[in-house]
């Protein structure tokens, strides 16, 4: 049995895959800002890598000069010196978690990953806010009350420029790893919650249903005893076992009846309709009154039989016995479909 503190094998493999993805994140752009304007029909793009800015940086800086924004330079952002080591650290933690195989460490890594994601987005928003609001008062173009903060994510109109801020491939991969950690944490919690709820007799508890299933599949009908057994439908004590019947479910549940009227009412009851697999037996009216499968039963319906609940139907295991009873009681010979029909 898997230890309570261990991680499922599939999740350990996913941790290794997540680490590989984070190594890829370190060399691809994590975010991009696209600028669209009539004078730049092809558009301008800024790509934010974990360690640098790329794309149309020089052109954007030239435009920003006119509205008083500071130039964008990689060396001005301490984040570019920290981001790659942090991502590498998370990749290492994922590998370490897969190796150590401790559920508690997985939970810790997930919490740290979420906290870092929140802090990174807040830092990104503050970076955009400072660059969009702290403008040079001596800029060539000044629009009173105008700020040029790009959107954190989505679209924003900035004068004649439309700015789109969206995750790039690295950001999507990073978010994907976070989502994977969330799913893994939830799955591990549910798996280990089930394990924790099992007693020390877990093996016996697992085997018991299997043994019960095997036993129930081989359940044989039990004799109906007069004066002891009670009808499962009318709740009356069995007074004449010659008209008895039984229903046995695949789960081994046995229902006993003292009359055809009771078993037919039971089978047609809406409460029993959900039961799909079961066996039906009838008491052989003649001979030793043993129980016979319904598939081998022949039936006689006659008012002269006077059964306990006036169903007045008797079952027989062969045609000769049926004929002998027919000669004595008269009535009608029926098959199971004719007996069973509502």
Instruction: Give domain status of residue 211, yes or no.
Output: no
237 found inside a domain: yes
- Full domain range(s) for residue 19: 9-197
Q: What is the pLDDT of residue 180?
A: 92
Asked if 260 and 329 sit in the same domain, the reply is yes
Residue where a domain stops, chosen among 197, 213, 242: 197
Task: Pick the last residue of a domain from 181, 197, 213.
Answer: 197
Mean pLDDT check: name the lowest of 44-58, 113-127, 188-202.
Answer: 188-202
What pLDDT does 4 receive? 57
pLDDT above 60: residue 296: yes
The answer to whether 256 and 231 are in contact (CB under 8 A) is yes
Mean pLDDT check: name the lowest of 132-136, 157-161, 277-281: 157-161
Indicate whether 122 and 242 sit together in one domain.
Answer: no
Q: Which of the pair, 201 or 76, is modelled with greater confidence?
A: 76
Residue 196 has pLDDT above 80, yes or no: no
pLDDT at 21: 95
Number of H helices, E strands in the chain: 9, 12
Across the range 145-168, mean pLDDT stands at 84
- Say whether both 141 and 290 belong to one domain: no
Domain assignment present for residue 210? The answer is no
Q: Where are the beta strands (DSSP E) in 250-341?
A: 254-257, 278-283, 291-293, 298-301, 313-316, 332-334
Tell whether 104 and 20 lie within a shared domain: yes
> If you average pLDDT over every residue of the chain, what do you get?
85
Question: What is the C-alpha to C-alpha distance for residues 322 and 338, in angstroms, rounded to an integer?
Answer: 16
Q: For residues 304 and 239, state if they share a domain.
A: yes
In a domain, 146, yes or no: yes
Using CB atoms within 10 A of its CB, is residue 223 exposed (0-12), middle (13-18) or buried (19+)?
middle
- The better pLDDT of the pair 140, 204 is held by 140
Please indicate whether residue 94 or residue 270 has the higher confidence score (pLDDT). Answer: 94
Same domain assignment for residues 162 and 124: yes
**CB–CB of 230/237 below 8 Å?**
yes
Residue 79 lies in a domain: yes
Number of folded domains in the chain? 2
**Minimum mean pLDDT among 6-10, 50-54, 290-294: which range?**
6-10
Q: What is the pLDDT of residue 112?
A: 94
State whether 88 and 178 are in the same domain: yes
Domain annotation covers residue 206: no
Residues 89 and 141 in one domain: yes
Question: Exposed, middle or buried: residue 271 (CB in 10 Å: 0-12, 13-18, 19+)?
Answer: exposed
Question: Does 320 lie in the same domain as 238?
Answer: yes
Please determine, for residue 137, whether its predicted confidence score (pLDDT) is greater than 70.
Answer: yes
Please report which confidence band the pLDDT of residue 194 belongs to, taking 50, 70 and 90 as the band edges: low
* Structure tokens that stand for 331 in this block: 């009535």
Pairing of strands 254-257, 278-283: unpaired
Residue 334 within a domain = yes
Q: Are residues 177 and 75 in the same domain?
A: yes
Asked if residue 107 is part of any domain, the answer here is yes
Residues 176 and 227 in one domain: no
Give the three-class secondary structure for 240: coil
Average pLDDT over residues 172-194: 86
> What is the structure's pLDDT at 3?
55
Question: Per-residue confidence at 304, pLDDT binned at 50, 70, 90?
Answer: very high
Is pLDDT above 80 for 145? no
**pTM to 2 decimal places:** 0.54
Mean pLDDT computed over 219-230: 85
Residue 317 pLDDT exceeds 90: yes
Task: Tell me: do 132 and 67 sit in the same domain.
Answer: yes
Does 238 have pLDDT greater than 80?
yes
Decide if pLDDT at 155 tops 80: yes
């Amino acid at each position: 049995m898997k230890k309570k503190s261990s991680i499922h094998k599939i999740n350990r493999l996913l941790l290794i895959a997540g680490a590989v993805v984070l190594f890829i994140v370190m060399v691809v752009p994590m975010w991009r800002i696209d600028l669209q304007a009539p004078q730049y029909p092809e558009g301008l793009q800024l790509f934010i890598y974990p360690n640098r800015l790329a794309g149309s940086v020089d052109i954007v800086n030239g435009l920003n000069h006119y509205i008083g924004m500071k130039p964008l330079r990689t060396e001005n952002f301490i984040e570019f010196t920290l981001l790659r080591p942090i991502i590498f650290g998370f990749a290492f933690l994922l590998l370490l978690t897969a190796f150590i195989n401790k559920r508690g460490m997985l939970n810790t890594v997930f919490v740290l990953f979420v906290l870092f994601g929140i802090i990174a987005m807040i830092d990104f928003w503050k970076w955009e806010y400072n660059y969009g609001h702290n403008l040079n008062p001596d800029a060539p173009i000044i629009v009173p009350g105008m700020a040029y903060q790009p959107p954190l994510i989505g679209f924003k109109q900035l004068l004649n420029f439309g700015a789109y801020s969206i995750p790039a491939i690295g950001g999507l991969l990073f978010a994907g790893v976070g989502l994977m950690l969330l799913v893994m944490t939830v799955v591990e919690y549910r798996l280990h919650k089930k394990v924790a709820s099992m007693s020390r007799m877990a093996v016996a508890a697992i085997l018991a249903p299997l043994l019960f299933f095997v036993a129930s599949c081989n359940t044989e009908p039990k004799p109906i005893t007069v004066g002891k057994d009670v009808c499962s439908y009318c709740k009356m004590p069995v007074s004449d076992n010659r008209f008895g019947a039984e229903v046995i479910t695949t789960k081994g549940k046995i229902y006993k009846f003292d009359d055809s009227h009771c078993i037919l009412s039971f089978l047609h009851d809406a409460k029993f309709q959900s039961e799909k697999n079961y066996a039906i037996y009838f008491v052989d009216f003649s001979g030793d009154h043993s129980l016979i499968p319904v598939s081998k039963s022949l039936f006689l319906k006659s008012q002269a039989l006077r059964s306990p609940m006036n169903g007045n139907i008797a079952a027989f295991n062969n045609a000769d016995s049926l004929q002998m009873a027919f000669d004595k009681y008269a009535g009608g010979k029926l098959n199971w479909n004719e007996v069973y029909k509502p």
